[in-house]
Amino acid sequence: MGRRGLAARDWRIADLHDPVHPQLSWNCPARQPKQARALRIAAWVMTAITLASPFITYRHAILLETASVFLLAILMIGAGLSAWRHGYRPAYYFLLAWSFMVAGIVVYACVSFGLLPKNFVTEYGIQFGSSIEMILLSLGLAYRFKLLRDQNLQLQLEATERLETRVAERTGELHRAMGELRTANRRLHEFSLRDGLTGVHNRRYLDETLAHAVSQARERKAPIALLMLDIDHFKRINDTYGHLAGDDCLRAVADVLRNHVREGDDFVARYGGEEFVVLLPGATRDDGARRGEVLRSEVAALRIEGHGATITLTISLGLAALVGGDLHSGPDKLIRAADAALYKAKRDGRNRLVCAD
């Protein structure tokens, strides 16, 4: 076959591997399956021509190879143009690279058919075109790797942003849930310190608050008074009119007490059964006595209707106060003194207020 035949054989071998370039340059099988299939067919055709070349004349081999190369060039350039038109920028490098390769092939074919004179440039046109092609394809692959890296970074950034958004949303939901839980716990705690029937504070609240109130009075060197009161003959009301009537009486007395305490440190608590406590921080014994008489008069004026009769009520009150040195005695002495005064008021005939000694 001669030196030109050897060059033609090298040309066929180089061309046989070139259909792989689109697959490496822009993943042609995934992006353009039809073009990829056509390129594979062209590769098999060129393989067949290469295998058949020893059995045909050199002229026929050159003609077949030239035709197949031009067909392959058209297919590759068409695939590259299609990818470029669809916005895949690395295909630009492939098109430019193959343009140099095709130019070298055309020059060599023209020399083979005697259309161009034979010289160093035309004789080695394929080698020049192939060298430039390899350089440009390398640049294209590098650019594709850069795009893939940028896409991965963008995907990571988007994933991070989505994760941060979800974390912020979950954090916000957690804060809202914690706020709702705190509100619910506060309400539950407040509910646990209230008497369910009358709505005033209960014995637990009194136990938690009284010691603190006495301690504050001691620090401020201010007096503190406590009224303990009991509804007179309450058992007889329950026995005569029923427990629902007794509940109405308890609520009515609690309303009177609640309406006559000052906003701030004063409070009313149900001590147990029909007994109530009114704590009056800052009140002296005389202040407590005056306010106790007001409460007694208000309760005596009540009329409870709706149980087949008009029910009237009276209360007995015991008053104790801590002033000066007595403040060091503590809350227990205040409760015991008020309870003893209440017992004396009931023993002396009820519907009265008795002050502790």
Q: Which of 65, 133, 274, 275 is catalytic?
A: 274
As given in the structure block, the two tokens for residue 226 are 């406590």
As given in the structure block, the two tokens for residue 126 are 């394929």
As given in the structure block, the two tokens for residue 147 are 């795009």
Measured distance CA(340)–CA(357) in Å, rounded: 10
Annotated active-site residue 274? The verdict is yes
As given in the structure block, the two tokens for residue 342 are 């209440």
Within 8 A by CB and 6+ apart from 321, the residues are: 223, 224, 225, 226, 283, 284, 285, 288, 355, 356
What are the helix (H) ranges across 197-233?
Answer: 203-220
Can you state the angle between helices 91-112 and 125-192, rounded to 10 degrees? 170
Q: Are 274 and 230 in contact (CB under 8 A)?
A: yes
**H or E segment at 129?**
helix 125-192
Q: Are 22 and 39 in contact (CB under 8 A)?
A: yes
Can you state the angle between helices 33-52 and 2-17, rounded to 10 degrees? 160
Catalytic residues: 274
